[in-house]
Amino acid sequence: MPDFLRETHLTQLTESPVWDVLIIGGGATGLGVAVDAASRGYRTLLLERTDFAQGTSSRSTKLVHGGVRYLAQGQVGLVREALRERARLLHNAPHLAHRQAFIIPCYRWWERPWYLLGLKLYDLLAGRRGIGGARALNAAETAQHLPGVQPSGLRGGVRYFDGQFDDARLALTLARTAADHGATVLNYMAITALQKDSAGRVCGATAHDQETGRAYALRAKVVVNATGVFVDEVLRLDTPAAAPLVRPSQGVHVVLPADFLPGPEALMIPQTPDGRVLFAVPWLGRVVVGTTDTLVPQATAEPRAQAEEIRFILETAGRYLTRPPHLSDVLSTWAGLRPLAASAQAGAATKEISRSHKLLVAASGMLTITGGKWTTYRQMAEDVVDRAQQLAALDTVPCRTAALPLHGAGPVPSGPATALAAYGSDAPALQQLLVENPAWAALVAPGFPYVWAEVVWAARHEMARTVADVLARRLRLLFLDAAAAEAAAPAVAQLLATELGHSEVWEQQQIAEFRELAAGYLSQG
């Protein structure tokens, strides 16, 4: 298994005099670009100033989908692209992405034929890449497939299929896949300046290690700005007076106990009071409900769900559930930011703004990617590397990621526990930690499948550096139950300190920082 230690990648940082591609940003887009560039054989470096997928890329609705509502808006090309990429992701990462059934409950006579027609078109656009056809259900079938749905006035429903995944773990898997193909990938490495040659073209960057404070002067043939809602910060490093390119829009999710929707199938509400769709999706033993779409003044590292957003989600979902959820039922709530076009502040409602991605090349030659969504990360990366290839006059190499298995997607020997399925072919190696120390088989938190061996694995093989790295993104406990995560934090800090060689002072600081973080995931009534 290739090494994925931060110390190893720090050493690699100084071994290449010039990188072919330097990527700023370790979210879905940047990591996808790293996989694409490295798999083509380019000398690839990716730097992320916090942790991989710390921002938007760990805060999605956990869906791999074509975008049913985009079809209603007439964005057929975007839907077709996303459906193609959905099939590729399900194939390339079967340990992290799977088919998920959805049901639209119908309470008015016209809804069932109308939604069925739209979803048949959705299936038609998927073509041979379809993962299951839509069909109409009568009221009894709808209630059977979707226990917990409001039966009063129920006329039937429509059942269709899309995909589901674990976003933060997929991001980490992309980081490891890029490393498997020779990329150098580092978290907690901030870009503080861009380097330019005598002609004013960007030819590298200055990076600061957030842990040691050491500065690195890095040269690159092309620099890619893939920083999501923070692209304007990097653009201003290039041109201080640059006009804003994006305006952040906040999407909020709440997490409820599984008994609100006890079956394996998801609920899709096609028309909320603000004209959006709302999902209630079983995920890792809980139910994720969301999302909203609210413009916010500026991007922040830890956006907070507002009380009115949480109430909107609970009230809307409550109209469709036998037992309406209340604030006291919420186990965790989180907010993510979408990078919408800056022009959004002047005109269209956010739900009407296209989520298609855009490439921009600055006069300095820096390449910026904006927009898009998780489902299309691979296509976005292909477009970026194709353009980078031209800008930097790199050897012409075709994209290789359409059918590239991601790290862990190989054959899994019989035996690994179901709870470790997300590790794919790494699961047997992780199980060896239980041989090393049987005490690590204990649960990190009651009622959740995570064991202490996973914390050790995160420190040794997944570049986890903080308690939040472990409890928010390597294990998803913070997103599933903020109180349970807060309770586990002291023991996680102690084990991490042992693994990473930190002091008791570091432990206490980590516990305090995580408690402050977790407070933002507890319901904001």
pLDDT in tens, 500-512: 999 999 999 999 9
pLDDT tens digits, 167-217: 999 999 999 999 999 999 999 999 999 999 999 999 999 999 999 999 999
| H or E element at residue 141 | helix 139-145
* Other Cβ atoms closer than 10 A to 312: 18
Segment 413-418 shows an average pLDDT of: 62
Question: Per-residue confidence at 289, pLDDT binned at 50, 70, 90?
Answer: very high
The domains of the chain are located at 6-56+168-239+362-391, 95-164+247-337, 418-519
Residue owning tokens 């969504």: 373
Question: CA-to-CA distance for 178 and 377, rounded, in angstroms?
Answer: 14
Asked if pLDDT for residue 416 goes beyond 70, the answer is no
How far is Cα of residue 183 from the mean position of the Cα atoms in its chain? 20
Contact 160, 182 (CB under 8 A): no
Asked if pLDDT for residue 411 goes beyond 80, the answer is no
Segment 140-167 shows an average pLDDT of: 96
- Structure letter (DSSP) for residue 228: G
Instruction: Compute φ and ψ for 338, nearest 5 degrees.
Output: -100, 140
Q: Domain 95-164+247-337 sits in which CATH superfamily?
A: D-Amino Acid Oxidase, subunit A, domain 2 (3.30.9.10)
Q: Which CATH architecture has domain 418-519?
A: Orthogonal Bundle (1.10)
Among 1-5, 119-123, 272-276, 341-345, which range has the highest average pLDDT?
Answer: 119-123
Contacts of 444 (CB under 8 A, 6+ apart): 450, 451, 452, 454, 455, 475, 477, 488, 491, 492
Question: Per-residue confidence at 459, pLDDT binned at 50, 70, 90?
Answer: very high
Q: Is 437 exposed, middle or buried (0-12, 13-18, 19+ CB in 10 A)?
A: exposed
Question: CA-to-CA distance for 222 and 100, rounded, in angstroms?
Answer: 39
Asked if pLDDT for residue 352 goes beyond 50, the answer is no
**% pLDDT > 70, the chain:** 95
408: alpha, beta or left, given left = phi > 0 and alpha = psi -120 to 50? left
Question: Per-residue confidence at 413, pLDDT binned at 50, 70, 90?
Answer: low
Asked if pLDDT for residue 69 goes beyond 90, the answer is no
- Give the tokens for residue 404: 């590239």
Q: Is 465 exposed, middle or buried (0-12, 13-18, 19+ CB in 10 A)?
A: buried
Is the four-CA dihedral 514, 517, 521, 522 of positive or negative sign?
positive
Asked if pLDDT for residue 312 goes beyond 90, the answer is yes
Residue owning tokens 């959905």: 86
Query: b/e per residue, 131-168, with b = 16+ CB within 10 A?
Result: beebebbebeebbebbebbbeeebebbbbbbbbbbbbb
Average pLDDT over all residues of the chain: 93
The SS3 of residue 45 is: strand
Segment 422-448 shows an average pLDDT of: 95
Asked if pLDDT for residue 428 goes beyond 50, the answer is yes
Asked if pLDDT for residue 414 goes beyond 70, the answer is no
Segment 365-383 shows an average pLDDT of: 95
pLDDT confidence of residue 417: 63
Question: CA-to-CA distance for 339 and 348, rounded, in angstroms?
Answer: 15
Residue 129: strand pairing partners = none
Closest listed residue to residue 287, CA positions, set 308, 329, 257? 257
- Give the tokens for residue 105: 């409950």
Half-sphere exposure of 492 (CA within 13 A, CB side): 36
Q: Is 297 exposed, middle or buried (0-12, 13-18, 19+ CB in 10 A)?
A: exposed
Question: CA-to-CA distance for 465 and 458, rounded, in angstroms?
Answer: 9
Measured in Å, how far apart are the chain's first and last C-alpha atoms? Answer: 46
- Give the tokens for residue 387: 């353009």
pLDDT confidence of residue 223: 98
Asked if pLDDT for residue 133 goes beyond 60, the answer is yes
Segment 7-23 shows an average pLDDT of: 95
Contact 161, 132 (CB under 8 A): yes
**One-letter amino acid for residue 262 of the chain:** P
Question: Per-residue confidence at 355, pLDDT binned at 50, 70, 90?
Answer: low
Closest listed residue to residue 376, CA positions, set 358, 404, 357? 357
* Other Cβ atoms closer than 10 A to 411: 7
| H or E element at residue 186 | strand 184-186
Asked if pLDDT for residue 1 goes beyond 50, the answer is yes
pLDDT confidence of residue 377: 97
Asked if pLDDT for residue 419 goes beyond 90, the answer is no
pLDDT confidence of residue 412: 66
Q: Is 14 exposed, middle or buried (0-12, 13-18, 19+ CB in 10 A)?
A: exposed
Is the four-CA dihedral 142, 144, 150, 155 of positive or negative sign?
positive
User: 6-56+168-239+362-391 adopts what CATH topology?
Assistant: FAD/NAD(P)-binding domain (3.50.50)
Question: Per-residue confidence at 351, pLDDT binned at 50, 70, 90?
Answer: very low
- Structure letter (DSSP) for residue 438: G
pLDDT confidence of residue 354: 46
Question: Per-residue confidence at 344, pLDDT binned at 50, 70, 90?
Answer: very low
Asked if pLDDT for residue 524 goes beyond 70, the answer is no
Closest listed residue to residue 92, CA positions, set 377, 408, 414, 397? 408
pLDDT confidence of residue 345: 42
Q: Among the listed ranges 32-41, 147-156, 361-370, 410-419, which one has the minimum average pLDDT value?
A: 410-419
Closest listed residue to residue 523, CA positions, set 357, 303, 331, 360? 331
pLDDT tens digits, 107-116: 999 999 999 9
Domains 6-56+168-239+362-391 and 95-164+247-337 share a fold: no
| H or E element at residue 490 | helix 482-500
Segment 473-499 shows an average pLDDT of: 98
Contacts of 84 (CB under 8 A, 6+ apart): 129, 379
